[in-house]
Structure formats: C-alpha cells, structure tokens
C-alpha cells in the first residue's frame, strides 16, 4: 500500500502539540487523514536523505558516528559528575516525588546523550538540562493529574444509600438540573462505579475529557450540597 512506508511526521507534531503526548500514527490513519498523507507523498524522501547526510559544520562529525558518540559519552559523564546532584535536587523540589525525580534526571541525561551524539550544539548544557527536566516533569505531572480518578465525596456516597427515596429523588433532580448533559452523564456513570476509560468508551469522549467533566460536575455539586447537614443548600446559593 502506498502509505506503508512513511506516515508524515508533521501529523505527529500536530498531535504531540495538541495532546501533550504522542500517539501511534495508525490512529491518525483511522481518523480519515489518508488524503493528507497522499498529498504529501511526493515531497518526501529526498529531503530526508539530505538531512541524514548532513555533517556538523563546526565539528565535522557525522551524527551517530563513533567520534560523535564517544564525544557524547564523555560529555554526559562529565556533566553528571559535576551537576547530577544539583539536577536531582531540583527535580525533587519540583515534583516532590523521588521516583519521578529520578526518572526526570535519567530522561534529561538520555536526551542530552542523544543530542550530543547527534552532534547537536548545546550552548549551555546546564540550563538545557534544567529546561528539559522541567518540561518533562510538568508534562508528567499533568498526565498524572488528568488521569487521577477523583473520589466521590463521602456525603454523596451516603446520599445514594439513603432510605428516604423522596429525598434522593429530590437530590438527583436538583443535580441533574445543575449539570450540563455531558457532565451529568459522566457523573452518573461514575457513581455506578465505572472507571474513566469505561465512561470514555461509553460516551465516545477522551478519557481526559471525562475526568475534566467529572471534576467540573463535582465542583458544582459541592456548591449545591451542604455535606455536614446532609441537605441541599437553598436555591439562591446554587
């Protein structure tokens, strides 16, 4: 098939920037972007090979050559011994999580190694490492936050078990009217015990969107329900 050999990279970039993470290119194909691939097919190929063959004008090393890789290894080792503790301390302060901090340190140095062995010129390796680790940690923390399953407030869990069906119906009607259709649907499915992925599959939404909708619904509900008195606030406080 004509698209087997090289899906265009700019789509990866678009997706990377829009979602903050990369996805398999097949997903794009499934999304009906074949016509875009086709239109780009002719412009590819030769220009890629020119990039591969490029040598650094300053060092004269070819990216990926033995000289470039040897140089990269010595650069990484020197920077690690000089600044490794400082970088790890920074990552721990930013993430407050030792495992995540260690990941960030490794990730930063691995990227530095690949960049050096590709003979990329880095003006200030120290600032470069700070920037890479910072971006990595922010991305990872966002991902964790987006996938965090929020707990239902105790008061709401209790509400669903109330023997007083009238009160329950009143609460549900009030909640439904306070939430948008999508918020209500996601929230209702969550109270039935479904996970975000299951809700996403059921509603044809992205998992992150489901999380956002449920969080927004919970914020609205917290404004509506007085948890201590176990009753709805008056309408005017809605």
Partner 1 sequence: MMSSWMNWGHPDMESLVEWADGQASPGIVAHLARCRPCWEQGLRIRDSVQAARRGEIPEGTLEEVLQELQMRMRGALAGGSNVAAALEHYFGKQVVRELESSTHWDAGQKPLLSGARPLFHAFLGRKAADALTSRLADVA
Instruction: Provide the binding-site residues for partner 1, judged by CB under 8 A.
Output: 5-7, 9-10, 12-13, 16-17, 22, 25, 44-45, 48-49, 51-54, 62-66, 68-69, 72-73, 76, 80, 83-90, 93-94, 102, 105-107, 109-111, 113-115, 117-118, 120, 123-124, 126-128, 130-132, 134-135
- Between 69 and 224, name the residue whose CB sits nearer to partner 1: 69
* Residue 154, Cβ density class (10 Å: 0-12 exposed, 13-18 middle, ≥19 buried): exposed
Q: Give the list of residues 6+ apart from residue 56 with CB closer than 8 angstroms, or none.
A: 62, 63, 119, 121
Shortest CB 148 distance to partner 1, Å: 22
Shortest CB 210 distance to partner 1, Å: 24
Q: Sign of dihedral through CA atoms 110, 111, 116, 121?
A: negative
Residue reference for tokens 């909640």 = 175
Helix (H) or strand (E) holding 225: strand 225-226
Provide the CB-side half-sphere exposure for 187 (13 A, CA). 24
Shortest CB 184 distance to partner 1, Å: 36
Q: How far apart are CA 72 and CA 120, in angstroms?
A: 10
- Between 24 and 227, name the residue whose CB sits nearer to partner 1: 24
Shortest CB 58 distance to partner 1, Å: 14
- Between 5 and 236, name the residue whose CB sits nearer to partner 1: 5
Is the distance from CB of 130 to CB of 90 less than 8 angstroms?
Answer: yes
- Between 49 and 206, name the residue whose CB sits nearer to partner 1: 49
Shortest CB 133 distance to partner 1, Å: 10
- Between 140 and 216, name the residue whose CB sits nearer to partner 1: 140
């Amino acid at each position: 098939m004509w698209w087997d050999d090289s899906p265009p990279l700019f789509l990866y970039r678009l997706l990377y920037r829009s979602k903050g993470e990369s996805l398999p290119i097949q997903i794009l194909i499934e999304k009906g972007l074949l016509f875009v691939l086709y239109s780009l097919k002719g412009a590819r190929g030769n220009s890629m090979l020119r990039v591969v063959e490029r040598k650094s004008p300053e060092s004269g090393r070819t990216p990926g050559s033995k000289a470039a890789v040897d140089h990269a290894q010595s650069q990484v080792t020197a920077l690690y011994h000089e600044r490794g503790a400082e970088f790890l301390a920074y990552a721990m302060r930013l993430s407050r999580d030792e495992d995540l901090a260690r990941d960030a340190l490794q990730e930063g140095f691995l990227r530095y190694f690949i960049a050096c062995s590709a003979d990329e010129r880095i003006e200030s390796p120290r600032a470069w490492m700070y920037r890479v680790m910072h971006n990595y940690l922010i991305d990872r923390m966002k991902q964790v936050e987006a996938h965090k399953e929020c707990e239902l407030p105790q008061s709401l869990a209790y509400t669903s078990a109330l023997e007083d069906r009238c009160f329950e119906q009143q609460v549900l009607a009030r909640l439904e009217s306070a939430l948008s259709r999508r918020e209500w649907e996601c929230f209702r499915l969550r109270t039935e015990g479904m996970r975000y992925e299951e809700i996403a599959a059921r509603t044809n939404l992205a998992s992150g969107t489901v999380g956002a909708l449920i969080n927004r619904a919970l914020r609205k509900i917290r404004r509506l329900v007085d948890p201590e008195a176990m009753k709805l606030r008056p309408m005017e406080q809605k």
